[in-house]
Structure 1
Amino acid sequence: MTSDLDLTQYKALSFDCYGTLIDWETGIAEVLGQWARVQGLDLSDEELLLAYGDHEAAIEREAPTTRYPDVLATAFRRLGDGLGRQVSQEWAQRLGDSVPDWPAFPDSADALARLARHYKLIIVSNVHRDGFAGSNRQLRGDFAAIITAEDVGGYKPADNHFRALYATLTDLGIDRSELLHVAQSLFHDHVVAKREGLPSVWIDRRHDRSGQGATPEPSAEWSYNLRFDSMAEFADAVDEAFSG
């Protein structure tokens, strides 16, 4: 999907972080893959991520105030149950504690620095405060606001983050019509963008792979206005729009 969206009309960008800026699938697969090898399971990273993803989303629906490290640990245990293997407390905690170690996509930090010349940047993320603080040591982002699941007591695609986001925009003196949402996940973010009537940019990080990986299939209608394979491509388009 494409559009003639005028990128110069916006004053703020709200970002999903994990999947868009941070390579959460590589981070999760690093732990799941090590565990699977110890268990003698011949499963690829993609197979493990696919088996894992629905468990995480289910826990976030069932217990929305649970801190993200505990969501990760519980989802890991459920994955093990489904595969007929026990996940020890040590392994569960290893995944729960791993968020700050998940790698940034190579283009994220530079793209954020370029975008910050044109917009206020806001994080709306399904993690906890300490986890994002660790990630931002890699991103080095200059964010006007950071909204986490721990702050709002819920997980996307519920609307908790976006209620907080609109209040943040008011504090920043920015109208909702001046906000553009940027995200990889159709399930977590572009479903909400459609529901909220927000213009959005899809950073299709999985463009060269089939399937949804650790992200469930979208549970409702979704939409986006612009699509890019990477944050670098998006930042290029923004720079071109403002220079033109």
Structure 2
Amino acid sequence: MLLTDFDALTFDCYGTLIDWETGMVEGLKSLSDRAKRPLTRDQILEAHARHESSQQRYTPAKRYRDLLPIVYKRLAEEWGVHVTHEDCVEYGRSVGNWPAFEDSPGALQYLKKYFKLVILSNVDNESFQASNRRLQVEFDAIYTAEDIGSYKPSARNFDYMIEKMEEIGIGKEKILHTAESMFHDHKPANGHGLKSCWIYRRHEQQGFGATMNPGQMPNVDFKFDSMLDLVKAHQEQLRVK
């Protein structure tokens, strides 16, 4: 199996293309600095993942920028910190400040020459628009949790993506789902018979950071430590061909 076998790359955005962990830690700094006990970076991220995943299950139709304030409130309660409603809302609007990984814009611009590029993200449309400006590429389709009314890893999100991709002439056998999160992306991709590519951004760190533990690790068909490594592998395959 080669990267050149596929017609479309469907991307998770946050954690894969956008450095959401850095964005979260910076956005939570005024809260985590006041916690009653010292918190490591991973403790902050893991707590965020737990509250975010829980809230997404209970309120699957809530827009991400309206869900994050609830996560912020739950973290403040857990860490024993007083916050105002305005503090919570401000955190919900912070997604547009989350940085892109340094290699994402250039890699996407290169891949655009060879593939349809599609987003399947747990974000809302307004927040993604701000992130898209950082990624500096025009995606061929954008499917958000706001569009679908549920959050990954729900099967509904992948059902929706596959159906809409078929409507633009791309069957699932020609889709390579490209993501960092085992929990949100690779496990449900396995369940839908999609081939997948793991961009292992946390390869130098332990644990799962801002994503939940998926339990049994899913299968992946390709694995790279960065988007740049994915581009290099594609370039090499073109040379061989």
Residue 112 of structure 2 is aligned to residue 129 of structure 1: no
Shift of 1:40: 6.0
Q: Within 5 Å, which residues of 2 pair with 1:8-23? A: 8-23=4-19
| Distance (whole Å) between structure 1 residues aligned to residue 215 and residue 206 of structure 2 | 18
Residue 92 of structure 2 is aligned to residue 96 of structure 1: yes
- Bigger mean CA deviation after superposition, 228-237 or 167-176: 167-176
Q: What do the CA deviations read for 1:127-186 (whole angstroms, capped 9, x no partner)?
A: 000111000101012211000000000000002221221122122211211111000000
Residue 36 of structure 2 is aligned to residue 53 of structure 1: no
| Distance (whole Å) between structure 2 residues aligned to residue 75 and residue 55 of structure 1 | 6
| Distance (whole Å) between structure 2 residues aligned to residue 187 and residue 64 of structure 1 | 16
Structure 1 vs Structure 2 CA RMSD: 1.4
Q: Counterpart in 2 of 1:65?
A: 61
| Contact 2:36/2:80, CA 8 A, preserved across alignment | no
- Letter of the aligned partner of 1:26 in structure 2? T
Local SS of the residue matching 1:105: coil
Q: What do the CA deviations read for 1:213-234 (whole angstroms, capped 9, x no partner)?
A: 1111005652211111000001
Q: What do the CA deviations read for 1:96-140 (whole angstroms, capped 9, x no partner)?
A: 000111000000000001111110000000000011100010101
| Distance (whole Å) between structure 2 residues aligned to residue 183 and residue 96 of structure 1 | 23
| Distance (whole Å) between structure 1 residues aligned to residue 64 and residue 82 of structure 2 | 21
Q: What do the CA deviations read for 1:53-112 (whole angstroms, capped 9, x no partner)?
A: 110001101110011012111111111212222332122112100011100000000000
| Contact 2:20/2:99, CA 8 A, preserved across alignment | yes
- Bigger mean CA deviation after superposition, 108-117 or 160-169: 160-169
Find the partner of 1:81 among 73, 77, 80.
77
Q: Counterpart in 1 of 2:199?
A: 203
Q: Counterpart in 1 of 2:114?
A: 118
Local SS of the residue matching 2:28: helix
Local SS of the residue matching 1:123: strand
With normalisation by structure 1, the TM-score equals: 0.94
Find the partner of 1:161 among 137, 157, 170.
157
| Contact 1:111/1:235, CA 8 A, preserved across alignment | yes
| Distance (whole Å) between structure 2 residues aligned to residue 40 and residue 175 of structure 1 | 52
| Contact 1:104/1:138, CA 8 A, preserved across alignment | yes
| Contact 1:194/1:223, CA 8 A, preserved across alignment | yes
| Contact 1:203/1:231, CA 8 A, preserved across alignment | yes
